[in-house]
Amino acid sequence: MATERIGQQFSFLVEADKLKDILRQSPVIATGRRENSAEHSWHLALTALVLREYAAEPVDLTRALKMLIVHDLVEIDAGDTFAYDTAGNASKSARERAAADRLFSLLPADLAQELRALWDEFEAHATPDARFANAVDRIQPFLQNLYAGGGAWRRHNLTREQILQRLDPIRTALPALWPSVLDGLAQLFGDAAKAAPTQS
């Protein structure tokens, strides 16, 4: 017989499965389909393993990985809010806190408390681990959109300034990667200018 504790843990893991059906704006590179928040979260964890050496401050990789693994679970209830959606972002915090209240409380109290605290820390951007994890959550969409030839940036007609503002946590938390971000955007917007019809 499953104990009550195991039952709670299984219920949480089964509920978490729903994150695979939450679609983001960023594309999968090869096909252009919108990626979902579960596969995105995996890609962030891999990115953290590969780019950790560039963290501006000492980072506890285990805590950062845990944050990245749980950071989007709230989207099961709150949906994915596009980073450049002003109206959606005005209500995002309240919607996501309510989602966190429900989802983490499916777990036994000790685990609920641990994972909720990590989610709160990620959201607050106020510790080295959270700043690193948030920068990882910017560099991966940067690569997705760049290598998809513009992806969601182009579909939503974003300006270079809007994108740079969104990516700014990379500049401070992964500073060695910032020149690559600037280069990538210069190339993309340069190509876009060349590809646009001219009046001459």
Between 13 and 124, name the residue whose CB sits nearer to a second copy.
13
76: closest CA among 165, 152, 15, 137? 15
Could you say which of 32, 147, 155, 186 contacts a second copy (CB under 8 A)? 147
3-state secondary structure of 24: strand
Site string for a second copy, 175-194 (x = CB under 8 A): -xx-xx--x-----------
93-101, Cβ contacts within 8 angstroms, sequence gap of 24 or more: 93/123, 96/123, 99/73, 99/74, 99/75, 100/73, 100/74
39 near a second copy (CB under 8 A)? yes
Question: Cβ of residue 115: shortest distance to a second copy, in angstroms?
Answer: 7
Looking only at Cα atoms, what is the longest distance across the chain?
A: 78
First to last CA, the chain: 78
Query: Which residues make up the interface to a second copy (CB under 8 A)?
Result: 1-2, 6, 9-10, 12-14, 16-21, 28-31, 35-36, 38-39, 41-43, 45-47, 49-51, 61-62, 65-66, 69-70, 107, 111, 115, 140, 143-144, 147, 176-177, 179-180, 183
